[in-house]
Amino acid sequence: MAKSVEILLVEDSEADAELVQIAFRSAKVMNQIHTVDDGEKAMQFLRREPP
């Protein structure tokens, strides 16, 4: 069985993050997208640490 790939979007602009998500949906990318607004939060997410 294929494993689903999750996407981590690191973007400090809320408007730009929304545009990226719209582009993914438009391209029919159905992967789960997690969004954080800085590198520190991205590293916490990747380490599975609580925010």
Interatomic CA distance for residues 25 and 29, integer angstroms = 6
pLDDT greater than 70 at residue 1? no
This prediction has a pTM of: 0.83
Give me 16's structure tokens: 């730009």
User: CA 23: distance to chain centroid?
Assistant: 13
Interatomic CA distance for residues 12 and 18, integer angstroms = 11
Mean pLDDT (the chain, rounded): 94
User: What integer is the mean pLDDT of 7-23?
Assistant: 98
- 20 in Cβ contact with 9 (< 8 Å): yes
Interatomic CA distance for residues 25 and 38, integer angstroms = 23
